[in-house]
Amino acid sequence: MLPIDLTGKRALVAGVADDNGFGWSIAKHLIQAGATVCVATWPPALNIFLNLLERGKLDESRRLLDGQLLAFERIYPLDAVYDRLEDAPADIRENKRYKDVGDFTITGLAARVRADFGEQALDIVVHSLANGPEVKKPLLEVSRAGYLAAVSASAYSLVSMMQHLGPLLRPNAAVASLTYMASERAIPGYGGGMSSAKAALESDTRVLAYEAGRKWGARVNTVSAGPYASRAASAIGIIGNMVRYCERNAALPQALDATEVGAATAFLCSPLASGISGATVYVDKGYHAMGMAVDGATVPTFG
């Protein structure tokens, strides 16, 4: 047996606000492998998430293989659009969902981790963050502000997290993010500049792998996950169609499960993947390998 053993490791997973998405599955798999996990949650969703946890509404999803319930070491507020508190406009800082959570910026997150655990506190950082305010708009109709907002929230946020959390990484640390096939192929309906943001994220992964590798000895990879109908993905508007299309046309004609992304990410963050850095790892049932749609087409079948 060759287990994924993360005993003694501490992970920070940014972008967990419910039990329905990839971030939750990744956090759960890391805990299952022995790591302690802190999560960072978007402030407008923070109280709801905490209430669901406290009232036991997520207990079924929290159950581990040994029957125990997973527990997060810390739950931090994070709006990764802002590097420093002074960058957030007054209407955000004074909003009732923000004003009582303290410093919700990336700098604030790094300061809290350092205050709680000291220097060299992290072994694993996972970036499960994406947002495009105009994602339903075709690229030809996207405003400059909407385009830049998508890149800021979905790509630059990883760069900023590395800048501020990098000094807290222990030797042989691992960093992972989540990307999508729209980075390299046109996906009609996935708009708002999100395709550009994912392309930037993949490019930044390669550069950060070099820079963080040389500076801190950290590995940086990204997981290109197939479409998945999480609550967050419902903002796209066509996520159901995306899931069904990939299910019918992937090399493995099955719907993707979040646990498959969680397991692959846990592997990438483990010592078993010590030789992998700067990679885009596809977890999409082989959809990325297909050059022709087979749904309804006259093609050879096997089996």
CB–CB of 126/177 below 8 Å? yes
Candidate list 82, 147, 180, 287, residue with the active-site label = 180
One-letter amino acid for residue 163 of the chain: Q
CA distances from 162 to 19, 126, 212 (A): 25, 11, 8
Coil, helix or strand for 139?
helix
Catalytic residue check, 287: no
With a CB cutoff of 8 Å and minimum separation 6, the contacts of 50 are 75
CB–CB of 216/253 below 8 Å? no
What whole-number distance in Å separates Cα of residue 154 and Cα of residue 178?
9
Furthest-apart CA atoms within the chain: distance in Å: 62
Phi, psi of 16 (to 5 degrees): -115, 120
Catalytic residue check, 180: yes
Residue 62, both tokens: 């929290």
What whole-number distance in Å separates Cα of residue 200 and Cα of residue 80?
16
Residue 278, both tokens: 């700067």
Phi, psi of 74 (to 5 degrees): -145, 150
Residue 76, both tokens: 């931090």
Residue 51, both tokens: 């209430």
Candidate list 76, 147, 190, 228, residue with the active-site label = 190
CB–CB of 273/267 below 8 Å? yes
Residue 259 CA from chain centroid, whole number: 14
Coil, helix or strand for 212?
helix
Positions marked active-site: 180, 190
